[in-house]
Homo-oligomer: A and B are copies of this chain.
């Protein structure tokens, strides 16, 4: 599962986490490799699963989702599975985890406004008991993975 990543690959990962569209030629200039060498290293990391994809980061607020909330769900008996099957179709849900503890599920959701939030909570009520926290500000957003010097 765990791949050994050398110092050069960490530099490449740093670059690509900062700007996934940076050219391999440019990355090569920064780390001291030729473009084909960078390309090969990247392809290997993709094949190993170290890099699982490249995503454009789209602003929630600029696309009409001005409100963010964290919602926990304590699913009713027999309602967890139906929820897990439905949650992928909820456009509001950006992240969702199954967790230990009194609540089974925690989600980060984006919403247009308070009315949208109300409607969304109504949609969840069939699956279980919810608890909602409004997000006041983002302190850290998808921080890059750095070398863990173990």
Beta-carbon contact of B139 and A97 below 8 Å: yes
A77 at the interface (CB under 8 A from B): no
The residues of B that contact A51 with a CB separation of less than 8 Å are 56-59
User: CB distance A145 to B60 under 8 Å?
Assistant: yes
Q: When the two chains form their complex, are residues B62 and A48 in contact, meaning their CB atoms are under 8 A apart?
A: yes
- A17: contacting residue among B18, B55, B93, B96, CB under 8 A: B55
Task: Assess whether B65 is in contact with A59, with CB atoms less than 8 Å apart.
Answer: no
Assembled-state Cα–Cα distance A56/B91 (Å): 22
Residues in chain B near residue A125, CB distance under 8 A: none
Give every chain B residue within 8 A of A48 (Cβ-Cβ): 62
Return chain B residues, CB-CB under 8 Å to A50: 58-59, 62-63
In the complex, what residues of B have CB within 8 A of residue A101's CB? 133
Known: A68-B97, A100-B133. A84 touches B139 (CB 8 A): yes
Query: Quick check: A95 and B143 within 8 Å, CB to CB?
Result: yes
Q: Render A106-150 as a binary contact track against B, CB cut-off 8 A, 1 for contact.
A: 111010100000000000000000000111111111111110101
Q: A1-B66, A51-B59 are in contact. List 19 more A-B contacts (CB 8 A).
A: A13-B56, A16-B55, A17-B55, A20-B54, A20-B55, A52-B59, A54-B57, A55-B55, A63-B148, A64-B148, A94-B143, A94-B145, A97-B135, A97-B136, A97-B138, A98-B135, A101-B133, A105-B139, A142-B142
Minimum-distance CB pairs A-B, first 3: A16-B56, A20-B54, A96-B140
